[in-house]
Amino acid sequence: MKKNNSGYVSELRQDLVSGDWMIIATGRAKRPNSFIGGRQKFEQKISECPFENPQITGHSEPLLIYGKRNRWSLQVIKNKFPVVGYGRCSTTHKEGPYTIMEGVGFHEIVITRDHKKHLALMSVEKIAEVLKAYQERYIALMDHECVNYVFIFHNHGREAGASIPHPHSQIIALTILPTDVKRSLNGAKKYYEEHHKCVHCEILKCERDEKSRCVFHNKHFAVFSPFVPRVNFELRIYPRKHQSNFEEITEAERMSLAEALKQALYRLYKGLKDPAYNFFIHTAPCDGKDYKYYHWHIEILPKTNTWAGIELGTGVEIISVKPEDVAKFLRKFNPKNK
């Protein structure tokens, strides 16, 4: 049985937001580079790609387009296979003890022009354009009477659930608050009520002082490997000043965020040799309530493990590389030195 420096087979760390305990099984520690590789081939010919010429392949007119119609650099379209319907707001009804309602909302796709160039390899300016599209569509959707939450996410690679290789993000506007969003909000609220402070500001302060988990920071944003990660190699991007709502970022902040996102994704790309990953934005709901205690952020979850019985039954991934080692490893891969 291998033990780590402190003589532990594993360490239990309590998440500051949820109060949940996570297992950092450093006793079966792997070196960071043992997480490299294992990607399945995931390619599609341009002639077969539904996102090369979306309107020719039966998609909706663009909801948003950057550039000219025949020389666009980015467009947002309706998802042909939405998880919620574009219908009228609905109310709940009962079925026995259960409560049901129709799934109503919006499901959109953000497509960048290049068939292969994914976010880690884009220029900071191009990434800023993607963030601008997120923000514009967020603002367009948030005021819709049925919409209480706008969820923005990106899947890269088949193992991360992408079904089409052409780089794209998704935006889903929902009437309900998703489970994990609700948990994240509740945790932040509880901490705020008990300590009269934002839990994420506390985390940022600790990470700035501690430094061992920091990967990058610029004027407005910090990238770090969280003390209690949900998955191996998780990275988080936080605005350094307290801010509840993603959609309120200024143009300068957007450029700063684009740089931070590039830094995070490029380092994972180089360090783990193009891993599959998901990232998503956790931000305050747009349901008209007060969420001043919340601090929006981006979570980036590389796909290095298969979730098994232990993860599915306990809700936590066994972490086998310490976040401190993740940060140290990723600090070596600076996009500026490429």
Q: How far is the CB of 112 from its own copies (least distance, A)?
A: 16
Query: Under the phi-then-psi rule, with left for phi > 0, alpha for psi from -120 to 50, and beta for the rest, what region is 46?
Result: alpha
Q: How far is the CB of 292 from its own copies (least distance, A)?
A: 20
Q: What CA–CA distance (Å, rounded) separates 83 from 65? A: 23
Which has the closest alpha carbon to 150: 140, 158, 159, 160? 140
* Residue indicated by tokens 């010919």: 45
Q: Which is nearer to its own copies, 25 or 215 (CB)?
A: 25
Q: Which is nearer to its own copies, 3 or 241 (CB)?
A: 3
Main-chain phi, psi angles of 307, to 5 degrees = -70, 130
Q: Is 101 in the site for its own copies (CB under 8 A)?
A: yes
Given candidates 44, 170, 218, 245, which one binds its own copies under the rule CB under 8 A?
A: 170
Given candidates 5, 47, 91, 99, which one binds its own copies under the rule CB under 8 A?
A: 99
Q: Is 217 in the site for its own copies (CB under 8 A)?
A: no
Q: Which is nearer to its own copies, 101 or 139 (CB)?
A: 101
Q: What CA–CA distance (Å, rounded) separates 276 from 166? A: 14
Which stretch in 101-109, 116-124, 214-222, 264-272 sits in contact with its own copies by CB under 8 A? 101-109
Size of the site for its own copies (CB under 8 A): 83
Count of positions (residues) in the chain: 338
* Residue indicated by tokens 């599609």: 44
68 touches 305 (CB < 8 A): no
DSSP class of 70: T
- Residues within window 40-79 making contact with its own copies, judged by CB under 8 A: none
Site string for its own copies, 115-154 (x = CB under 8 A): ------------------------------------x-xx
264 touches 216 (CB < 8 A): yes
Q: How far is the CB of 231 from its own copies (least distance, A)?
A: 8
Distance of CA 106 to the CA centre of its chain: 19
Q: What CA–CA distance (Å, rounded) separates 203 from 198? A: 9
Which has the closest alpha carbon to 184: 225, 143, 151, 136? 151
**What is the biggest distance separating any 2 CA atoms in the chain, rounded to whole angstroms?**
62
- Residues within window 234-293 making contact with its own copies, judged by CB under 8 A: 278-280, 282
Q: Which is nearer to its own copies, 104 or 330 (CB)?
A: 104
Q: Which is nearer to its own copies, 60 or 73 (CB)?
A: 60
Which stretch in 5-13, 44-52, 138-146, 242-250 sits in contact with its own copies by CB under 8 A? 5-13
Q: Which is nearer to its own copies, 184 or 255 (CB)?
A: 184
Q: How far is the CB of 151 from its own copies (least distance, A)?
A: 6
Given candidates 43, 48, 193, 209, which one binds its own copies under the rule CB under 8 A?
A: 209
Instruction: Locate 181 and state its tokens.
Output: 């969003």
278 touches 155 (CB < 8 A): yes
- Residues within window 292-311 making contact with its own copies, judged by CB under 8 A: 299, 301, 305-311
Given candidates 106, 138, 221, 227, which one binds its own copies under the rule CB under 8 A?
A: 227
277 touches 268 (CB < 8 A): yes
Q: Which is nearer to its own copies, 29 or 128 (CB)?
A: 29
285 touches 149 (CB < 8 A): yes
